[in-house]
Homo-oligomer: A and B are copies of this chain.
Amino acid sequence: MASKKDFLKETIKHIDIKKHNVVKLVDDMQNMAFSARDLNRAARIYDMMLNDKSCAIILTLAGSIFSAGLKKVVFDLVNNNMVDAIVSTGALMIDQDFFEALGFKHYIGTPRSDDNLLRELHIDRIYDTFIDEDELRVCDETCAKIFDGLEPKPYSSRELLQEFGKYLDKNGGPKVDDSVIYAAYKKNVPIFVPAFSDCSAGFGFIIHQTNHPDKHVSIDSAKDFLELTQIKLNAKETGIFMIGGGVPKNFTQDIVVAADILVEDASMHKYAVQITVADERDGALSGSTLKEASSWGKVSTTYEQMVYGEATVVLPLIAGYAYHKGSWKERKPHEFQKLFIEEKQTA
């Protein structure tokens, strides 16, 4: 009979944008049509954000892009001051980034699988990628252990993600050299996960709160919203670079309205780029156009661009373009994490 080893053979390898100078390729898309022209404009708008000294850049992440080989791209953005805050799904940060930081891997699989057999073998499938479910359980338990070690009270996800970075630091560093959580921890780039129970950390919470029914760590996602809004208020201008839609997109667009509630005439996001395969026609948020967001007062329409395409192909081109243009070399890190640490220390 087939064993787990038969399926978990070849590992996913993350693409390294630093190795591929795509500037000329993307430049030549400027005078084409359809997605190529859109991709070119999105890349140039991201480069504009990096050149605009007054602009803080918020990266939003959704979709299973780290298990698909795009983790190092985001790592490089963080590590080279190309992003100032991240808003993400929990699966990306915990089940995929933290998971690999613990030394586990993702494996090349196929969508034409016998899913019942995979289940019996404790193999989880994400389209054409396989995961060792037993390793994922170790990840869940590590989350629980981290929560067990914290003072029992409500936390923002940003605070908890920082604790994950601290955990890696104290335990000999991540087992990989491209951990996004760890790089963000070191570079003072805050990470927000507005639906933080919806991932491996949620299982960690199930264990933690069941073991500590009265006094335990809880996640205050309202605090997330307040903190991200404070970043918006602290920055003169903001640009958003969105990979996929979902809660991270909505949450990040909404902070303009939240800022507007706290102070009069908060500025809209000045720049906005989204990579998506979702469509606007079903009215769902993930595919809603940035022009639509403008009616809500969230995004300015001057520098916005949707790129319809799948991220594994599109993101290396846009991020690679911005990396090799080099505008980030002159850029000073915002280190927004300090905003909250100092605040706390003052208080």
Question: A: which residues have CB within 8 A of B?
Answer: 10-16, 19-20, 22, 24-25, 28-29, 31-37, 39, 62-65, 67-70, 91, 106, 108, 111, 113, 115-116, 118-119, 123-129, 133, 137, 140, 154, 194-198, 202-203, 205-210, 217-226, 229, 244, 246-247, 250-251, 254, 257-258, 261-262, 277-286, 288, 291-292, 294-297, 301, 308-314, 316-317
Contact = CB atoms under 8 A, between A and B. Distances in A.
Copies in the complex: 4
Contacts of A70: 32
Given A206-B261, A226-B209, A244-B284, A128 B33 contact: yes
Contact of A195 (B221, B223, B257, B296): B221
B283 A115 contact: no
A283 B222 contact: no
A206 B262 contact: yes
B261 A129 contact: no
Given A206-B226, A283-B63, A295-B119, A15 B32 contact: yes
A311 B36 CA distance: 9
A69 B154 CA distance: 37
Given A154-B154, A282-B311, 5 more contacts: A15-B36, A34-B311, A124-B295, A127-B292, A137-B261
